[in-house]
Amino acid sequence: LYAAGADYVVDDITHVPKILRIINQKLALGFGPPGRIRN
């Protein structure tokens, strides 16, 4: 999973649908270790 600040770069490279990116962000925020998303 990637930090929110870099998600648009990942989208450009991998062409991930936006809904999947949103789901990944929700999973990262819900289950990721604290501080992984925060910069």
What predicted TM-score, i.e. pTM, was given to this entire model?
0.32
Tell me what pLDDT residue 22 has: 75
CA angle 27, 30, 34 (to 5 degrees): 115
Q: Length of the chain, please? A: 39
pLDDT digits (tens, 9 = 90+) for 1-39: 455 555 555 555 566 667 777 777 777 766 656 555 554
Q: Which tokens sit at 36?
A: 């992984």
pLDDT at 30: 66
Domain boundaries, the chain: 1-39
